């Protein structure tokens, strides 16, 4: 795209921080519920007709609209689908129920079920690589067009691609925190402990290529009742991925940095997010309120469409590549 010319809403988590769950092997009391602190909607695209239709166009239209502007990007799970990580609310995505923070900390059965599935799914996400869309954003940043990006994803593929200014809004899948003593360990270290505690478990489930993987490194497997989670090796406390669950707030400092990054840009580019929850939508509202152009690249409707200056209904990787080439 060439060179560059010389009231916050209540925090809420979003799609990559969801944890897909199943009722299998869980007691009757362990039924997924929705946290009253967060606005959650079923895992399907927002209904059409909820607001005025945005102007639709092509990648070329987006390049022309954004030409000469400094851009802040907001990315969702759709950016990583070409890396083999499915999104939550794409047209072909299966419905999912998110696990809440309250369920995770209060119910041992939920924790066991989660860690068993994550132990499988983590192996898959750990082996994924950035795609053309991630690389296109790096090119835009290198050219001085992109001031930085806010991602709702926890897969770290933006960092792996070489992006320098990244706010991981919902945390990152490669770290685990103790809810009691606050110590942080690597997910890789925990994987070694879980394998030792559960010999043969990974071999007993279907090969990862045949298991449904979710964006937060969860995997859909059913037999988890005998899985042994690992306690904190320092204090014996409960370990939790350092990602934001439903029922948790995104840390205030992180939200403030994200707002500041939106303010630093002249325009907001949304890529691969349905903006179903407020966690991402608030930044679109913030940009629109400030009079900044908002370009949304996503297949299917989003909750931000009524606020968009331009909507591009096309693949994320191909559109971002076209913007970097323009």
**What residues are labeled active site?**
170
Rounded to the nearest angstrom, the gap between the alpha carbon of residue 71 and the centroid of all alpha carbons in its chain is: 20
Render the burial of 1-33: b for 16+ CB within 10 Å, e for the rest: beeeeeeeeebbbbbbbbbbbeeebbeeebebe
The backbone torsions φ and ψ at residue 190, rounded to the nearest 5 degrees and listed phi first, read -65, -35
For residues 155 and 96, give the distance between their C-alpha atoms in angstroms, rounded to a whole number: 19
Which residues touch 291 (CB under 8 Å, ≥6 apart)? Answer: none
Strand partners, 74: 150, 270
Q: What is the CA radius of gyration of the chain?
A: 20
Helix (H) or strand (E) holding 106: helix 101-106
Q: Which two structure tokens, joined as six digits, stand for 229?
A: 């989670």
For residues 105 and 179, give the distance between their C-alpha atoms in angstroms, rounded to a whole number: 9
The backbone torsions φ and ψ at residue 253, rounded to the nearest 5 degrees and listed phi first, read -60, -35
Render the burial of 159-168: b for 16+ CB within 10 Å, e for the rest: bebebeebbb
Q: Which two structure tokens, joined as six digits, stand for 115?
A: 């860690």
């Amino acid at each position: 795209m060439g060179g560059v010319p010389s009231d916050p809403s209540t925090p809420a988590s979003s799609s990559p921080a969801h944890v897909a769950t199943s009722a299998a092997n869980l007691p009757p009391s362990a039924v997924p519920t929705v946290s009253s602190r967060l606005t959650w909607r079923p895992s399907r695209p927002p209904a059409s007709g909820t607001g005025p239709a945005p102007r639709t166009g092509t990648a070329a239209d987006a390049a022309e609209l954004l030409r000469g502007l400094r851009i802040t990007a907001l990315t969702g799970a759709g950016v990583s689908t070409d890396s083999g990580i499915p999104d939550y609310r794409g047209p072909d995505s299966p419905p999912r129920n998110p696990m809440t923070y309250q369920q995770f900390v209060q119910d041992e059965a939920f924790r066991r079920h989660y860690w068993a599935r994550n132990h499988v799914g983590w192996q898959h996400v750990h082996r994924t690589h950035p795609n053309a869309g991630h690389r296109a954003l790096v090119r835009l940043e290198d050219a001085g067009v992109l001031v930085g990006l806010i991602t709702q994803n926890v897969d770290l593929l933006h960092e792996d691609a070489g992006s320098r200014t990244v706010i991981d809004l919902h945390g990152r899948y490669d770290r685990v925190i103790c809810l009691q003593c606050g110590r942080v360990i690597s997910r890789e270290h925990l994987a070694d402990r879980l394998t030792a505690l559960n010999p043969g478990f990974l071999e007993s489930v279907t090969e990862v290529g045949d298991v449904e993987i979710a964006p937060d490194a969860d995997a859909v497997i059913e037999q988890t009742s005998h899985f042994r989670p690992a306690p904190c090796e320092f204090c014996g406390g409960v370990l939790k991925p350092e990602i934001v669950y439903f029922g948790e707030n995104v840390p205030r400092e992180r939200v403030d940095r994200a707002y500041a990054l939106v303010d630093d840009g002249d325009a907001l580019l949304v890529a691969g997010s349905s903006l179903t929850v407020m966690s991402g939508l608030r930044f679109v509202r913030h940009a629109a309120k400030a009079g900044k152009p908002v370009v949304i690249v996503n297949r299917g409707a989003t909750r931000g469409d009524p606020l968009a200056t331009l909507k591009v209904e096309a693949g994320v990787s191909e559109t971002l590549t076209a913007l970097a080439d323009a």
